[in-house]
Amino acid sequence: MTIPHSDKKFTGYIPDTYEDYFVPLLFAPYADDLARRVPRTARRVLEVAAGTGVVTRALDAVLPDDAALTATDLNQPMIEKAARATPSRRAIEWRQADAMQLPFPDEAFDCVVCQFGVMFFPDKAKAFAEARRVLQPGGTFIFNTWDRIEENELSATVMDAMAQQFPDNPAAFFARTPHGYHDRAAIARDLAAGGFGAASDIVTVMLRSRAASARDAAIAFCQGSPLRNEIEERTPNGLDAATDATAAAIARRFGNGVVDARMQAHIVTIRK
């Protein structure tokens, strides 16, 4: 499936809203989980699709003091936001980079990490081959990807709200891309096509997604992600109204107080 350009556009107001609202809502719990899975023997770690640095910060906290950490993202505004948002006890190298054409030599790292980025790669086997290329023999590739949207209560609620607001042309970013790469067999095939010969370790982990209010959750989805691009394409001056309608949908399902919803993802660990 071709991924629209707008699905990969994290620019403008999105990076700041993403960091302030979306990271605590969805990404921080899985960042801690992913960082715990990195081998403590790793001394040269590469993160791809780093976003605003939530995993980078988790890695910085758990890696040995002598480990080198490089963080990359396709979107320069996201890397700039990550660098500003990440006080570090080590000199992190921040670089804009395409995961399908990594600007690093062969066997430069002993661990490659990617949180919720593989879904955006147009050619996943090629991106996996790049991760394998820059890994030293015996190195580890660790990534996660969202399970199907029905297992993720907030995302499903938001997509239902979008279908109600735009019945003739629903804004379907989350169903199409973030939750569009959940089939475990397809993941295993793409890893094999990327050159990973050993059977991959794929586990499914359910965690909780929490927000202070339905409106905070709606802001995260509607204004802190590329869903914003779709909403503004359909109704150029309607972002606030779409956010309000989405907040109302979330409140109907989860109540007017703190939002507490189930979220679920696959975590993949494989060695070169």
pLDDT in tens, the chain (272 residues): 567 777 677 888 898 999 999 999 999 999 999 999 999 999 999 999 999 999 999 999 999 999 999 999 999 999 999 999 988 778 999 999 999 999 999 999 999 999 999 999 999 999 999 999 999 999 999 999 999 999 999 999 999 999 999 999 989 999 999 999 999 999 999 999 999 986 678 999 999 999 999 999 999 999 999 999 999 999 999 999 999 999 999 999 999 899 999 999 999 999 99
Q: Name the residue ranges covered by the structural domains of the chain.
A: 5-271
Beta-carbon contacts of residue 142 (< 8 Å; ≥ 6 apart)? 34, 37, 38, 111, 112, 113, 114, 267, 268, 269, 270
Q: How far apart are CA 54 and CA 115, in angstroms?
A: 9
What is the phi-psi region of residue 63: left when phi exceeds 0, alpha when psi lies from -120 to 50, beta otherwise? beta
- Residue 75 CB: number of other CB atoms within 10 A? 19
- Which residues is 47 bridged to in the sheet? 71, 113
DSSP string for residues in 100-117: TB-SS-TT-EEEEEEES-
Q: Which CATH number fits domain 5-271: 3.90.76.10, 3.40.190.170, 3.40.50.150, 3.40.50.880?
A: 3.40.50.150
Q: Are 192 and 251 in contact (CB under 8 A)?
A: no
Q: How far apart are CA 47 and CA 50, in angstroms?
A: 6
Residue 199: per-residue pLDDT: 65
Beta strands across the sheet bearing 44-48: 93-96, 68-73, 44-48, 109-115, 135-146, 259-271, 201-211
